[in-house]
Amino acid sequence: MQLGVVGLGRMGQIVVDRVREAGHDVVAFDLDEQAVATAADAGATPADSVVDLAERLGGDKRIWLMVPAGDAVDAALDDLEPHLDSDDVVVDGGNSYFEDSVRRAESTDAAYLDCGTSGGPAGAELGFSLMVGGPEWAYEELVPVFDAVATGPEGHDRMGPAGSGHYVKMVHNGVEYALMQTYGEGFELLANGRYDLDLESVARTWNNGAVIRSWLLELCEEAFAEEGNHLGTVADRVEGGSTGTWTVQEALEQEVPVPLIYQALAERFDSRSSGGEGPGRFSRRLANRLRYGFGRHEVPRREE
């Protein structure tokens, strides 16, 4: 099948590559011409504009948006709208707020799929986990693409109607914050505890058979291997927080207690306002580094 991809940043290029490798055709556009050229090198048909992309796709368009959450999604949709009808399918693979996705699904003529995408740039080879919301028929139409972008048929599913994909992704991210902070607390205690331990060895031993083994723990192991036992210059400063904030807001709305997720978010706020002269809290320094591990987010570092 043929897929239009709008947005060719790190994640967008991975989508292009994985879809191409699965034997599908891709028409690719980005505001950055260099990114379009890279996609063309990878075998995609380059487009000059969103409109050009829409025209090249012909009837029954299937379009994957991989642009930053917020205004960029609305801008792309505005450009596409005149070219869309009810047989077309638009996928938003970004980290949009689920209520925006509901609104967009209602206002576009196309079938709209909100697709939470987890795995980060580090998941390029394995494939992603895709949580999809929207009309059943549109999801079924896109299955070949989802099979290619995800780890395989098990790595994607339709969660429910419009918004549910980004809703589940939002909660995923709240859980992610708390898992990172939890591993951080464990290693902070070990780093300040009674024994002089090799934390990379601890993480490796745990990753082989322990109850708490996980991909995030593998990224801890990698972090200690690359930064050293005390995480070197990694700063006590954890950026980000919008999806975690949405999760807590939704939990307030639903009156569901989420004290661990809340505390993990509060640690981020705290890391940005604390005073002090030391290297800072080990737990948050590890969480800072883990964000690079899966998402290639820049690592704030302190001056030596």
Binding residues among 267-286 for a second copy as defined by CB under 8 A: 267, 269-281, 283
Least separation in angstroms between CB 235 and a second copy:
7
List, as one string, the DSSP characters of 106-160. HH-SSEEEEEEEES-GGGTTT-BEEEEES-HHHHHHHHHHHHHHBSSGGGEEEEE
Q: Is 300 in the site for a second copy (CB under 8 A)?
A: no
Site for a second copy in 47-86 (CB under 8 A): none
Q: Is 4 annotated as a binding residue?
A: no
How many residues bind a second copy, per CB under 8 A? 104
Question: In this structure, is the dihedral angle defined by the CA atoms of residues 46, 48, 52 and 53, taken in order, positive or negative?
Answer: positive
Site string for a second copy, 193-212 (x = CB under 8 A): xxxxxx--xx-xxxxxxxxx
SS3 217: helix
* The binder of a second copy chosen from 52, 225, 259, 298 (CB under 8 A): 259
Least separation in angstroms between CB 298 and a second copy:
17
**Segment contacting a second copy by CB under 8 A, of 4-12, 64-72, 121-129, 137-145:** 121-129
- Which residue in this structure is represented by tokens 């307030």? 252
Task: Measure the CA–CA gap between 47 and 304, rounded to whole angstroms.
Answer: 46
Q: Are 183 and 217 in contact (CB under 8 A)?
A: yes
Task: Measure the CA–CA gap between 207 and 225, rounded to whole angstroms.
Answer: 14
Q: Is 281 annotated as a binding residue?
A: no
Q: Is 129 in the site for a second copy (CB under 8 A)?
A: yes
Nearest CB to a second copy, comparing residues 53 and 258: 258
| Residue 214 CA from chain centroid, whole number | 17
* CA distances, 167 to each of 97, 233, 250 (Å): 8, 35, 10
**Segment contacting a second copy by CB under 8 A, of 29-37, 84-92, 107-115, 147-155:** 147-155
Least separation in angstroms between CB 159 and a second copy:
6
Nearest CB to a second copy, comparing residues 4 and 123: 123
List residues with catalytic annotation: 169, 176
